[in-house]
């Protein structure tokens, strides 16, 4: 089982309660990624490896990337990011399954190398 970075334990517990109840439904996650220089975003091999294993992991839990876009600046706020990913999961349980899916450990390993 892989550990998620920057986990908000209270929110994970909320997800667990929803997943165990009758109200479990789709989840949309907005990932705002800043890549390490070694990833050579958007065309480097490390970035491509991360996207490949992420796609594999999402397939295993029934999720999918709805869109991804290069971030060239922002009008509000000051978070320095390179890419925004819109990720859909069919249920809260599907999202929780990320931590135990077969590709989870490899995803977290490559993610740690590619994402700040």
Q: Are 109 and 3 a contacting pair, CB within 8 Å?
A: no
Q: Please tell me the pTM assigned to this model.
A: 0.88
pLDDT at 5 over 80: no
Condensed to tens digits (0 to 9), the pLDDT of residues 61-101 reads 999 999 999 999 888 888 899 999 999 999 999 999 999 99
Tell me what the pLDDT averaged over the chain comes to: 93
What is d(CA 16, CA 18) in angstroms, rounded to the nearest whole number?
A: 5
pLDDT surpassing 60 at residue 1: no
Tell me: pLDDT of 19 over 70.
Answer: yes
Q: Report the DSSP beta bridge partners of residue 31.
A: 85
């Amino acid at each position: 089982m892989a550990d998620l970075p920057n986990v908000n334990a209270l929110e994970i517990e909320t997800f667990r309660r929803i997943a165990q109840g009758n109200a479990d439904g789709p989840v949309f996650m907005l990932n705002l990624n800043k890549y390490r220089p070694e990833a050579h975003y958007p065309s480097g091999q490390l970035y491509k490896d991360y996207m490949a294993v992420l796609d594999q992991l999402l397939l295993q839990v029934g999720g999918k990337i709805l869109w991804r876009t290069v971030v060239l600046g922002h009008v509000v706020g000051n978070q320095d990011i390179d890419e925004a990913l819109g990720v859909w999961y069919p249920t809260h349980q599907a999202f929780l399954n990320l931590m135990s899916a077969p590709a989870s450990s490899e995803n977290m390993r490559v993610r740690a190398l590619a994402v700040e």
